[in-house]
């Protein structure tokens, strides 16, 4: 693995290595170092979890971070993105990018030797999905025997999660309005993975049907960053897709509830769901740190991009 641009690009072996390393790092049975290495963090959108966990992960690995804003480095027009990439590549050992468009991340990766990590784009949120698998393994022993029910938008978070599930043999169901389903390309790739590694995929419109017998109930915001203009239409379209105590009651008794956060009470979740006894959302948030520490160690120690 040379970069982490999307879950769609990585292999079963990559996932297994990242999860194994993350678990050992979390348990403090493995210490790794990237001493002397510096990564740049460049975010076009707000972030609490991703930004802070990358900084802390890099500190724990004895490395350094530089925080950049799109405005100060002139990301949008002062000079071509290709030139920014080639210049940054002379200074830093890795670039962590949160962008409005996946293409910005792809172009950056194409023009750097340093590994590039997608910290969320319009298409995928790979770091989130890896941390989510780590969290699920802490509660459910065998990923190949579980069903994850995602209630809500076919967005960056559900795309990465569906792909990640299809690499580890976990079954994935998404319940969403027909206009907000995962793209055909993603569904095709998920199904190709399933034919190789097992599991199942279903796209439904009924949230109750989706959570029936599920081991994990997962939701994310209905209006992602950058979609504010479509806010009213989206809120209307997703009525009936709120995760409530009643909905959780349709899943298995020992099902866990997950949300990547930030959450919007009264929209995708009812008021007290984050504090529900089956909610693991803050463990999930913590695991961003451990999963990303493993990704950083793997990418920065190898750093063999050509």
Q: How far apart are CA 207 and CA 97, in angstroms?
A: 33
Partner whose footprint covers residue 149, from ligand NVA, ligand CP, none (CB < 5 to 8 Å by kind): none
Residues 6 or more apart in contact with residue 29 via CB below 8 angstroms: none
Residue 282 CB-density burial (10 A; 0-12 exposed, 13-18 middle, 19+ buried): exposed
Size of the site for ligand NVA (CB under 6 A): 9
- CB nearer to ligand CP: give 48 or 66: 48
Residue selected from 55, 124, 260, 268 as contacting ligand CP according to rule CB under 6 A: 260
Residues 6 or more apart in contact with residue 182 via CB below 8 angstroms: 154, 158, 159, 162, 174, 190, 203
Partner whose footprint covers residue 221, from ligand NVA, ligand CP, none (CB < 5 to 8 Å by kind): ligand NVA
Q: With the CA atoms of 28, 97, 218 and 198 taken in that order, what torsion angle do they form, in degrees rounded to the nearest 10?
A: -80
Q: Per rule CB under 6 A, is residue 220 in the interface with ligand NVA?
A: yes
Q: Per rule CB under 6 A, is residue 155 in the interface with ligand NVA?
A: yes
Q: How far is the CB of 80 from ligand CP (least distance, A)?
A: 28
Q: How far is the CB of 260 from ligand NVA (least distance, A)?
A: 5
| From 31-39, 47-55, 167-175, 271-279, span contacting ligand CP (CB under 6 A) | 47-55
Residue 6 CB-density burial (10 A; 0-12 exposed, 13-18 middle, 19+ buried): buried
List binders of ligand NVA among 93-152 (CB under 6 A).
120
Q: Per rule CB under 6 A, is residue 261 in the interface with ligand CP?
A: yes
Partner whose footprint covers residue 268, from ligand NVA, ligand CP, none (CB < 5 to 8 Å by kind): none
Single out the residue of 118, 115, 130 nearest to residue 301, CA to CA: 115
């Amino acid at each position: 693995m040379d970069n982490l641009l999307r879950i769609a690009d990585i292999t079963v072996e990559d996932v297994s290595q990242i999860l194994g390393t993350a678990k050992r790092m979390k348990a403090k049975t493995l210490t790794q170092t990237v001493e002397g290495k510096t990564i740049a963090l460049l975010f076009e959108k707000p972030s609490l979890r991703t930004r802070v966990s990358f900084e802390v992960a890099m500190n724990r690995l004895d490395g350094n971070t530089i925080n950049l804003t799109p405005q100060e480095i002139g990301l949008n027009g002062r000079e071509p993105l290709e030139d920014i990439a080639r210049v940054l590549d002379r200074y830093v050992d890795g670039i962590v990018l949160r962008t409005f468009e996946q293409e910005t991340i792809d172009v950056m990766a194409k023009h750097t030797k340093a590994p590039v990590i997608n910290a969320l784009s319009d298409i995928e949120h790979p770091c989130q999905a890896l941390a989510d698998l780590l969290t699920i393994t802490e509660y459910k022993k065998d990923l190949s025997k579980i069903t994850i029910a995602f209630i809500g938008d076919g967005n960056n978070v559900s795309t990465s999660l569906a792909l990640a599930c299809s690499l580890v043999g976990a079954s994935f169901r998404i319940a969403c309005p027909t206009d907000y389903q995962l793209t055909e390309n993603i569904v095709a790739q998920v199904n190709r993975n399933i034919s190789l590694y097992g599991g199942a995929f279903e796209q439904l419109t009924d949230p109750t049907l989706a959570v029936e017998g599920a081991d994990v109930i997962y939701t994310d915001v209905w209006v992602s960053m950058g979609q504010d203009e479509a806010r009213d239409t989206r809120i209307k379209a997703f009525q009936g897709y709120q995760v409530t105590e009643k909905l959780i009651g349709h899943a298995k008794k020992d099902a866990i509830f997950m949300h990547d956060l930030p959450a919007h009470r009264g929209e995708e979740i009812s008021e007290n769901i984050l504090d529900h006894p089956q909610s693991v959302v803050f463990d999930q948030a913590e695991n961003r740190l451990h999963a990303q520490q493993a990704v950083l160690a793997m990418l920065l120690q190898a750093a063999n991009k050509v």
